[in-house]
């Protein structure tokens, strides 16, 4: 079995992002100094061409030309984490929901803390929009990439797009 992780990096308004792939699907989008980020190992190989489409879509997102990503995704996680991450993809661009609401949406209304933990371990940031989940009182709560980045992403999305 080939354990090579393909990666690329792009500069964005919130700093450099590292993108990873298994050769078929996006497996990660990581910010610099991100909590639960990825660490490059000898199994990593830079391949900008293999990640051309994810790079282009992220660049279009940051210029306001893209609201919904259309990429094959393969995040590694527990079945519960993957359920949470799939539900994140249903939060529309420019909208936010609470952790409690996300827990209700996956059919586990008392699991808001577990949902918060799963949200924080999302390996495909921005594309799987964990930044769109906020506290029940509307406050910006923890974000693996830092609250400044979360604030920037939410502000970016609230401005609408160029299309």
Instruction: List, as one string, the DSSP characters of 47-116.
Output: -TTTTHHHHHHHHHHHTTS-SS----B-----HHHHHHHHHHTTSPTT--EEHHHHHHHTT-TT-HHHHH
The domains located in the chain, with CATH, are: 5-62 (3.30.160), 79-158 (1.10.10.10)
Average pLDDT over residues 8-35: 93
- Given this model, what pLDDT does residue 1 score? 45
What CA–CA distance (Å, rounded) separates 141 from 99? 10
- Which tens digits make up the pLDDT trace of 46-76? 999 999 999 999 999 999 999 999 999 999 9
**Of 91, 103, 126, 130, which one is the catalytic site residue?**
130
Q: Is the pLDDT confidence value at 123 over 70?
A: yes
- Given this model, what pLDDT does residue 3 score? 82
- Given this model, what pLDDT does residue 139 score? 77
The confidence band for 2, taking pLDDT boundaries of 50, 70 and 90, is low
What CA–CA distance (Å, rounded) separates 119 from 102? 10
The whole model's pTM is what? 0.90
Structure-token pair, residue 119: 């949200």
Q: 32 or 90: whose pLDDT is higher?
A: 90
Q: Is the pLDDT confidence value at 160 over 70?
A: no
**What rounded mean pLDDT belongs to the chain?**
90
Partners of 82 in the β-ladder = none
130 flagged as catalytic: yes
């Amino acid at each position: 079995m080939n354990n090579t992780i393909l990666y690329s990096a792009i500069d964005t308004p919130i700093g450099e992002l590292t993108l990873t792939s298994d050769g078929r699907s996006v497996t990660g989008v990581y910010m610099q100094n991100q909590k639960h980020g990825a660490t490059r190992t000898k199994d990593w190989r830079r391949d900008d061409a293999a990640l051309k489409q994810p790079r282009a879509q992220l660049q279009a997102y940051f210029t306001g030309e893209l609201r919904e990503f259309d990429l094959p995704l393969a995040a590694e996680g527990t079945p519960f984490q993957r359920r949470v991450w799939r539900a994140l993809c249903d939060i529309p661009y420019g909208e936010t929901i609470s952790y409690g609401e996300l827990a209700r949406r996956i059919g586990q209304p008392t699991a808001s803390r577990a949902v918060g933990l799963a949200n924080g371990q999302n390996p495909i940031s921005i594309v799987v929009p964990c930044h769109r989940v906020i506290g029940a009182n509307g406050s910006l709560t923890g974000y693996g990439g830092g609250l400044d980045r979360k604030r920037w992403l939410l502000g970016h999305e609230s401005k609408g797009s160029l299309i």
